Amino acid sequence: MTKFLILTKYDETLGLEPMSKWAPEDARAHAEYQMAINKELVDSGEWVEGYALTGPELAKIVVSDGGTAPVITDGPFPEAKELLAGYQMVDVESLDRALEIAARVSAAPGPGGAPIGQRIEVRQVMADLLGCEL
Amino acid sequence: MIEGLLRELAPQVLGVLVRRYGDFASAEDAVQEALLAAATHWPTEGVPDNPRGWLIQTAVRKLTDLYRSEQARRRREDAAGRLETPQPDVGDTDDTLALLFLCCHPALTPASAIPLTLRAVGGLTTAEIAGAFLVPEATMAQRISRAKARIKASGDPFAQPGDLRSVLHVLYLIFNEGYTSSRGEGLHRVELSDEAIRLARLLHRLKPDDGEVAGLLALMLLTDARRPARTGPGGELIPLAEQDRTLWNRSLIEEGVALTLAAMSRGAVGEYQLQAAITACHDEAERPEDTDWRQILGLYVLLERMTANPMVALNRAIAAAMVHGPAAGLRLLDALDERLAGHYRLDAVRAHLHELAGNTELAAKHYRAAAERTTNLAEQRYLISKIASG
């Protein structure tokens, strides 16, 4: 089994309104869709953890040189695509299975119930393993 | 001490319950509860005179409770009926082997066979197993209950023919998981390799004449013997040739070598015996330059005939390079380009052989390619250090 992080990022190219402006039933349908996927992952024994994050308007960016006071910038940011919307960590049999889950996440319904087609980033966790000896 | 006793008794107690009631899934839950009860009571109240009897009695009571609550919930008459007419007790038969066959059933994926084996035969708790694999307890519980549902669907638990090969494979995977994982991070992290060795010893006791069982146990012991030398103070990987061999565990090596020799002298040599014999060749060399590479190469040639595993072919290339020079090894690697395309180990070995040939530029190039492709942090650090030293 291998652990993968399935990352959902804000994607401004989709021209999507922030979720706070969606019709309440659309936002609910979206959340229920995601929760149903998560529930399935728990039942299949593949779930490690996952969270939806608060919106970019609450995000802060911190930069420090280790000496002087850190520079803290408040959101929202023009480069929203750099920001994470949420993630799921799964422990699965194969990369193919992780991609299958990511495809489901990508097709989550947006305003009007149409699949959003978000870009989902799939990253394998680098294991702190010792591996085989040469 | 109590923990060891409980893990040893777990499969015996489970065997008795499955024989009596035929219901593996519920019996296994009941035995887990009995083990937890013992782990709570024994340290303060003392170990009972007949610990096995105590566990059986407690597990039967837990099973009764389980059926009663099920019955109340779903009015399951058949389950209660089964309790009232238990199957005749078959006395002291040890059903551990039958349980191993069941938990390592070929119909199960390794991902479900492994935790089920560790729980039902190894007597570990779900929390311990989850901790060992770094997933939440609920996830591991789900894998176990799915595995049990799958077994339930296949009928009478003990009526099925056993598949020793799949048992060996599951134990091998448990050992590897423990051996390749970083250590000491989780507070309650069970030592999976120790547990695999314990189960392999148990299997060897039950099947003393099986050469492959002995071979697998020997392979584990001979590999585990190097454990104290294979990582540095910062957890970094130390390759075989650079390990401090005085740290190797001599008694494990002696035991492993004796097991290997005894198994191989009986004929019908299999993959685990050959792997054990190769490991023994390394373990018996006091210095890397004392390694009997000719013998190792011969063993790899035999092993390659038995398995399609490209890693065996890769290791054979290393052995060929040590016997006939790096050019011979590199030639063998060329034949592996397709089968191992994009695998970091192929790059790492190619780099190593170029290094042996004195071609530092090509070596660095392939070490870099390997470092980019590995998904293993310690290995990446090692490979990057090789690029720097090249």
Whole-number pLDDT of residue B80 = 52
How far is Cα A10 from Cα A79, in angstroms, rounded to an integer?
9
The reply to whether B90 touches chain A by the CB within 8 Å rule is no
Please determine, for residue A121, whether its predicted confidence score (pLDDT) is greater than 50. yes
Residue type, B76: R
Q: Tell me the nearest-neighbour CA distance from A49 into chain B, angstroms.
A: 8
Please determine, for residue A81, whether its predicted confidence score (pLDDT) is greater than 80. no
pLDDT values of chain B reduced to their tens digit, one per residue, 390 residues: 788 999 999 999 999 999 898 889 999 999 999 999 999 999 999 999 999 999 999 999 999 998 888 777 776 555 555 555 555 554 556 788 889 999 998 889 899 999 999 999 999 999 989 988 888 999 999 999 999 999 888 777 777 777 899 999 999 999 988 777 654 444 345 688 899 999 999 999 999 999 999 999 999 999 999 988 988 887 777 889 899 999 999 999 999 999 999 999 988 899 999 999 999 999 999 999 999 999 999 999 999 999 888 889 999 999 999 999 999 999 999 999 888 888 888 999 999 999 999 999 999 999 999 998 887 777 788 888 888 765
Report the candidate in B45, B44, B37, B28 with the shortest Cα–Cα distance to residue B6: B37
With an 8 Å Cβ cutoff, are A128 and B377 in contact?
A: yes
Instruction: List phi, psi (to 5°) of B109.
Output: -75, 155
Please give the domain boundaries of chain A with CATH numbers for all domains: 2-130 (3.30.70.1060)
Number of Cβ pairs closer than 8 Å across A and B? 83
Q: Tell me the nearest-neighbour CA distance from B258 into chain A, angstroms.
A: 23
pTM score over 0.80 = yes
B138-188 pLDDT, tens digit each: 999 999 999 999 988 877 777 777 789 999 999 999 998 877 765 444 434
DSSP one-letter code for B241 = G
B261-273 pLDDT, tens digit each: 999 998 889 999 9
DSSP string, B98-167: HHHHHHT-TTS-HHHHHHHHHHHTT---HHHHHHHHTS-HHHHHHHHHHHHHHHHHT--TTSSPP-HHHH
Partner residue opposite B231 with nearest CB, options A47, A49, A130 = A130
Residues in A closer than 8 angstroms to B230, CB to CB, are 130, 133
Report the candidate in B270, B133, B118 with the shortest Cα–Cα distance to residue B199: B118
Q: Is the ipTM of this complex over 0.90?
A: no
Please determine, for residue A132, whether its predicted confidence score (pLDDT) is greater than 50. no
Report the candidate in A85, A84, A123 with the shortest Cα–Cα distance to residue A101: A123
Residues in A closer than 8 angstroms to B376, CB to CB, are 126-131
The number of beta carbons lying within 10 Å of the beta carbon of residue B38 is 25
Which H, E and C letters describe chain A, residue by residue? CEEEEEEEECCHHHCCCCHHHCCHHHHHHHHHHHHHHHHHHHHCCCEEEEEECCCHHHCEEEECCCCCCCEEEECCCCCHHHCEEEEEEEEECCHHHHHHHHHHHHCCECHHHCECCCCEEEEECCECECCCCC
Instruction: List phi, psi (to 5°) of A76.
Output: -75, 165
SS3 content of chain B, % helix, strand, coil (to 5): 75, 0, 25
Whole-number pLDDT of residue B231 = 81
* Total residues found in chain B within this entry: 390
